[in-house]
Amino acid sequence: MSALDLMHRRVDLVGTVSALTARALKLTQAVSGAEMDILRLELAIDRDPANGQLVQELHNQEERTAAIREEQADCAEDIAAAEREVAALDALIAATKGE
């Protein structure tokens, strides 16, 4: 693979890291919103503890929040893997400069 091909591959990978980072930020925002909903529901339950509907909504929101957190963890792993690929590619590019 030529140095130019390696550079094109690196640009593609950096784009992937950028897209994954944007997704991670969106997931962070989603978790923040979900946590606010959980707090709102907890406060509502404190005011009306016998309201089964609120309790069910709270459990549903907690499940959604847990799912988003799992997505965050998966996204963080994907970012780390892509960054390792970029680092490996950088090593290859540096090696081709020495040839």
Tell me the per-residue pLDDT of 6-60, one tens digit each, with 9 for 90 and over: 999 999 999 999 999 999 999 999 999 999 999 999 999 999 999 999 999 999 9
| pTM, 2 dp | 0.85
Virtual CA dihedral for 38, 44, 50, 52, nearest 10 degrees? -40
Q: Cβ–Cβ contacts within 10 Å for residue 51, how many?
A: 13
Residues in the chain: 99
CA atoms within 13 A on the CB side of 21: 9
Helix orientation angle between 52-97 and 3-47, rounded to the nearest 10 degrees = 160
What tokens does 15 get? 């784009």
Q: Any idea where the domains of the chain sit in the sequence?
A: 3-97
